[in-house]
Amino acid sequence: MWTIIKADRKNLVFLKEEFKKKLGKDLTIYSPKLLIQKYKKNKLIGKELNLLGDYFFCFHEKFKSQETFSLLKFTKGLKYFLDGFNQSQEEIETFIQKCKQAENKKGYLTQNFFELCRNSNYKFTSGPFSEKIFKIINLQKNKIDILLGSIKTTIKNKEFSFTPL
């Protein structure tokens, strides 16, 4: 059963180790990540960003029992278990599958994760236009027509990464 956990980032490694000690090796932890590349002083710098912030997914068969939560409740680095995960198992599994399908070989989410809409504003997160805001005019299979300020241009869909505003 999947559960959603909010954790303290400073003690995340310790938290994972404690969970594995208390629950066993069948523990699965998943946190979708983005790789944001920015130019800083003419150097390309990559920054890893957790899509869900301090939250991550955790799977173990023992999460069906309330005793498991009592055992883990006061683990160092754990802030809390998000309520309502019992009723949302299908949605959680669907979201995790969507994230895993949109990952590249390095485990980072690709542009395929975001659904693009016409006349919506987006922000480049990589490439020479990083941090610039643009509007999508037209969507094609592999190309996107955008409006960057007053300049209309076409970019390849997989060449740049960007996020919705």
Domain boundary among 91, 111, 131: 111
Mean pLDDT in residue range 19-42 = 82
Question: Over the stretch 112-142, which tens digit does the pLDDT of each residue have?
Answer: 677 778 888 888 877 777 788 888 888 887 8
Residues 105 and 137 in one domain: no
CATH number of domain containing 158: 2.30.30.30
Q: Give the C-alpha separation, 68 to 75, whole Å.
A: 12
Residues 119 and 88 in one domain: no
Residues 96 and 122 in one domain: no
pLDDT tier, 111 (very low <50, low <70, confident <90, very high otherwise): low
Q: Give the C-alpha separation, 60 to 58, whole Å.
A: 7
pTM for the model? 0.72
How high is the pLDDT of residue 43? 77
How high is the pLDDT of residue 93? 92
Does the structure show a pLDDT above 80 at 40?
A: no
pLDDT tier, 75 (very low <50, low <70, confident <90, very high otherwise): confident
Task: Judge whether 140 and 130 are in contact, CB under 8 Å.
Answer: no
Residues 130 and 106 in one domain: no
Residues 73 and 135 in one domain: no
Residues 93 and 49 in one domain: yes
Domain boundary among 80, 96, 111: 111
Task: Judge whether 109 and 51 are in contact, CB under 8 Å.
Answer: yes
